[in-house]
Amino acid sequence: MKIAIPLTGGQLSSHFGHCEQFGIYEVDDGKIIASKLETPPAHEPGVFPKWLHELGVKVVVGGGMGNRAQALFHQNQIDVYFGVDIADPDEIVKTYLAGTLESGVNLCDH
């Protein structure tokens, strides 16, 4: 399974649409088995969900995400966690794998 984390300056981006890169983590049997950085295409509504779906991503974690983006991710069979306050992407994935990652207050206001 693949998990995508939007990054700005190597840390979780507060708004996925403004990120510089995505950390793409491949996980299996509760462990990270591979990770890489991917530069996303230009941000336009609907582009990131489709692109991440094509990469095989099943989970995206963000600080903030608009309602429309959440719906588009769900349409692309990608689970969404938002309002996450952990900055380090490796820790986010480990928390997800431990089953303790929860959505918090959405940092996006649209």
In order along its 110 residues, the chain shows pLDDT tens digits of: 999 999 999 999 887 788 899 999 999 999 999 999 999 998 888 899 999 999 999 999 988 888 888 899 999 999 999 888 878 999 999 999 999 998 876 656 55
State the Cα–Cα distance between residues 51 and 94, nearest whole angstrom.
24
CATH code reported for the domain at 2-97:
3.30.420.130
Q: Which of 1, 11, 19 is nearest to 91 (CA)?
A: 11
Q: What is the residue extent of each domain of the chain?
A: 2-97
Predicted pLDDT of residue 7:
94
- Structure token pair of residue 75: 């349409």
Predicted pLDDT of residue 29:
95
State the Cα–Cα distance between residues 47 and 101, nearest whole angstrom.
25
> What's this model's pTM, rounded to 2 decimal places?
0.91
Predicted pLDDT of residue 108:
60
